[in-house]
Structure 1
């Protein structure tokens, strides 16, 4: 009995070894024996014996979306007759499907891959237990990537898929629980950013994806989790500077993930002075409040975040701090708002509770000059990341705006009106018009050059020169509140622009 048992075990081992040897496929065999096929063209073939293996090779001329489709007649059973696997040129598995006897039509998930050479292997995984000589039809379905798909591999920063256009979605998927998708995006200007993340309903209410956005120094700027039933989702807002950013998409855990396609979109609104610009965690990094009576929007992204703002007081008088946010239905204080002078001396402070949707300070008397406002969490335990608006309110004060080709020019000192003429900070308007600017502090002389036009102005002098020709100014350039101001109309017209004035909105409209 013992001898029979040992003989049975030995025979079983030999049979397993034989089957194992039959199923070994070297990559060299695949490369040498592979039949060249074309994408988007059907291939009809079969496995005449249980240990037959078919190899195919195809080229992708450009990156794109690929999936495999596989068809055969109905064998009317549930056994697996075909195993179809796709590999890249480095032997990494890209796609795989198993086709049962009654699965007359099958297809893989999508793969978003780079151009290059790929291989497909078709075999009978059971070898002898379930084999069919029936013909099958195989097709490599390919759509060229024109910026709308991820490109695998993109599992780290260096391999990140470039998102070519803001406000345009890109499609990807998490192939397995260990897959990571990195994306790279460049913001051309400061602005408001949030991440849109959409997918089909997988009918599971717990999170399946984690989406994190980083700046170029790997600081987290946005984080979002997407549930299986949240088919349309959006992160909170981040108010960011121009530059390069990265987005990482991962499975929620190694046990909770989905390989369905997702759509990721970087939603961007260009800064026109209405948002904070992160980072602004200190006076040196303070976001500019471009004028009194104009609200600026921000948020505290985490419980140690601080937002600093800087504003210019163009006169001596009274102002109020106005702080608004949505109703959090909480009596707890969530924000501390403080006003400082340039030396860091605290002038005023107030707290905002969750139900204080419109909070206004008492009257604050300020001298003409530069001031700072700090917004921070009331405590690390009462932090809220919702958006707020901050306004420096001044009675009977009406801001002056300057638009160049429909876009507002941002000044660190408010424009003023002197003798019916609007004066603006020199560097901002010259650079907005693509002129180079130089300043001679000894002679108080401003020189601006654009192409073959050179404009020279001297502080306090009513005469401006353009290419050596003198032009009389109604109002001379002047220094106001520590800034050099120049006549907007004279500057713009000297470079060939058209200038209009809208008295109702107090707006200078420059068209180049």
Structure 2
């Protein structure tokens, strides 16, 4: 086809040249006409002389039954059999079969043009097949495949490998091939893909590599289904089962036997919410309508003592333990260290209890500590030989993983058996969440008018709480605890602003079991409570803290109004309510008169059962230069005036007062 297009293009070029010559005649340019004709004839002559026809390809059919000749489209093919003088050229129309070995010679032709000749030796096998000899001989070649899916040793009438997820092997597939002689034979060196059955229809391609390098394929279609669950097998894989604990999926190993013969782990089964009762418990596990009854025995936590399991000398080898269960162990030598690991699902309160046989020695023999995952100590206590039963301070911890470390104290140790218990009590929303030892990063967020429980765990502990007011409120703190015999001050409770400025406080002794702070009026914002030991005195018993807020009606003072520049502005004839919040508190009010006015200041409060003076009220005027002075006159000119209210010396009263500046 390419050659024909080339010839056509040459003719077009020659015609174009002649047309140019005719144009030259019309323009009376005879010399140009003659030159054009000569150029056209020369172009055609050179083009025809340089036509290059491609020789044909001599091939055979895939089944070796005949010889095939191929060439460019539109070009005729000629061939002859043999090299003798009597061999005649024939026009090729269709594949031809040779009856004996010979040479096939072929060429292409286009009009008067012929290509170079090409030739190929053709051999005829005993079975009549044509090939080109050597590796092309059809010794073991196949012309077709047939595959069948089989299965070995089916059980219960089930074909065990017709199920989704099954990974096929060659033994599951039987492949037979038909060779070029029509003989059927078993085929073993085949490949197949994919190898794992999926639910639904699977198209498996079977492939066999021929000696020529080509491949023949067939397809195997397999309908696969999900195997049905036949039965369940359930085992409890946890340690000692204690009464009162919840059974979870993590405690169980659930396996299923399926109709394809496979046993595997089962998920998505139904497990009822079950709290273990003391004694025998029957648990029903259900999956796809198949059930299994699991019987478990639960014991009381205080009825047994679990033993230490060595090696546990490193935190990575710590023994797993449960809260509220006794464990025993001993230090085998002065280098021995025992680690125990406890996992707490929720925050709560912890006390460590450590016991040992009494020893006539006041030396420290054991060191016991409770650590977080960062190995920071939360409890640390040293135990002497004489201290046979010791209890740690109470601490509160967040959910997470903790470690108990038991080692010798200093150079002394004892190999006597010890027993310890992690006394743990789970707590809810309204209990302190540790760590809350830093105002900026750890303060526990609380709600107003709710009571929260916490405790100081050691002399360095400080508990911070954070609350937010969305609007101005009157606020006080309520602090309570169980009554103690000690009359020392044990707690200091402070209400703080954003920058730790103290707004009010409480100092509580062991005997003052219930206290309220002074009321303070504070604007919208973020506030903090700090509860800490008072000096070196403290207690680890629980306290209760509340932020009591009241939304007020009517006009009230705006704190901070402790100076002229921040005075609360009031109107003539309008009452305002305020209170003195501490010994150092001062309340300023500002009023602007537009004209000369006779004024009256009214100050009132609820009766107080005391004859002490608690308030001082003064009236000040401001002149045009900004200078402020006492004003004891009832008549006031237009201008700015201030009312100042404060305690009387060191005496003050926290209850509300009312102030009204009116005219008469």
What band does the TM-score fall into relative to the shorter chain? 0.5 to 0.7
8 Å contact kept, 1:273–1:289: no
Residue 176 (structure 1) shift: 2.3
Q: Is the 8 A contact 1:299 1:385 kept in 2?
A: yes
Q: Is the 8 A contact 2:366 2:414 kept in 1?
A: no
Corresponding residue for residue 376 of structure 1: 646
Q: In the alignment, does 2:550 pair up with 1:269? A: yes
1:324 has 2:605 as partner:
yes
The alpha-carbon deviation at position 346 of structure 1 amounts to 7.5
Distance of aligned partners of 1:238 and 1:190 in 2 relative to their CA distance in 1, 3 Å threshold: same
> Pairwise mapping of residues 62-141 of structure 1 onto structure 2 (< 5 A)?
62-70=346-354, 83-96=367-380, 107-123=391-407, 125=409, 131-133=415-417, 136=419, 138-141=421-424
Q: Is the 8 A contact 2:466 2:527 kept in 1?
A: yes
Q: 1:67 to 1:300 in 2, by over 3 A?
A: closer
Does 1:54 pair with 2:338?
A: yes
Identify the match of residue 159 of structure 1 among 426, 441, 449.
Answer: 441
381-390 vs 230-239, which moves further: 381-390
2: CA distance, partners of 1:270 / 1:367: 37
Give the Cα separation in 2 of the matches to 1:62 and 1:370. Answer: 61
Q: Is the contact between residue 572 and residue 663 of structure 2 (CA under 8 Å) also seen in structure 1? A: no
What is the 5 A alignment of 1:230-309? 230-253=512-535, 255-273=536-554, 275-282=556-563, 285-287=566-568, 292=573, 294=575, 296-303=577-584, 305-309=585-589
1:192 to 474, 482, 487: 474
| Pair 63,155 (structure 1): closer, same or farther in 2 beyond 3 Å | same
What are the superposed Cα offsets for residues 321-378 of structure 1, whole Å, 9 maximum, x if unpaired? 12336355336x851332658977989867xxxxxxxxxxx9x578999975332356
Are 1:392 and 2:660 matched, yes or no?
yes
Aligned equivalent of 2:432, options 149, 171, 174: 149
Q: Which residue of the partner structure matches residue 493 of structure 2?
A: 211
CA distance in 2, matches of 1:120, 1:129: 17
Counterpart of 2:450 in structure 1 is: 168
- Mapped partners of 1:265, 1:240: distance in 2: 16
Q: Which structure would you say has the larger RCO, counting Cα contacts within 8 Å and 6 or more residues apart?
A: 1
Distance 1:179 1:139, change over 3 A: closer
Q: Is the contact between residue 366 and residue 413 of structure 2 (CA under 8 Å) also seen in structure 1? A: no
Alignment of 1:431-510 (within 5 A): none
Q: Is the 8 A contact 1:342 1:371 kept in 2?
A: no
1:82-135 deviation per Cα after TM superposition (whole angstroms, max 9, x unaligned) = 65321122322212456788988764332122343321023465998754336x
On the 8 A contact 2:461/2:532 being kept in 1, the answer is: yes
Q: Which residue of 2 aligns with 1:34?
A: 318
**5+ unaligned residues in a row in structure 2: which ranges?**
1-311
| Number of equivalent positions | 348
Bigger Rg, which one: 2
Q: How much has 1:229 moved relative to structure 2?
A: 1.1
Residues 160/270 of structure 1: CA separation in 2 closer, same or farther (3 Å cut): farther
Q: Is the Cα–Cα contact under 8 Å of residues 580 and 647 in structure 2 kept in the other structure?
A: no
Question: SS state of the match for residue 159, structure 1?
Answer: helix
RMSD of aligned residue pairs (Cα, Å): 4.2
> Equivalent residue of 2:529, what SS?
strand
What is the CA-CA distance between 1:70 and the residue it aligns to?
A: 4.9
TM, length-normalised to structure 2:
0.44
Q: CA deviation at 1:276?
A: 2.5
Cα–Cα, structure 1 residues 133 and 320, in superposed 2: closer, same or farther, change >3 Å? closer
Contact residue 69 and residue 141 of structure 1 kept, 8 A: no
Deviation at 1:225, TM superposition (A): 1.2
Checking the alignment, whether the CA contact within 8 Å between 2:621 and 2:640 is kept in structure 1 is no
- Residues 324, 423 of structure 2: 8 Å contact kept: yes
**1:337 equivalenced with 2:621 (yes/no):** no
Q: Which residue number corresponds to residue 73 of structure 2? A: none
2:304 aligns to what?
none
Deviation at 1:389, TM superposition (A): 0.5
Q: Quick one: distance in 2 between partners of 1:109 and 1:133? A: 23
Q: Residues 273, 101 of structure 1: CA spacing in aligned structure 2 closer, same or farther, 3 A cutoff?
A: farther
In 2: Cα distance, 1:226 partner to 1:156 partner: 22
Question: Matches of 1:47 and 1:173 in 2, distance apart?
Answer: 32
Q: Could you tell me whether the CA contact under 8 Å between 2:345 and 2:400 is conserved in 1?
A: yes
Structure 1 residues 228 and 346 mapped into 2: Cα distance closer, same or farther (>3 Å)?
A: same
Name the CA distance, whole Å, in 1 between partners of 2:339 and 2:417: 17
Asked if 1 retains the 8 angstrom alpha-carbon contact of 2:572 and 2:661, the reply is no
Q: Using the TM superposition, give the Cα deviation of residue 297 of structure 1 relative to its aligned residue in structure 2, in angstroms.
A: 2.7
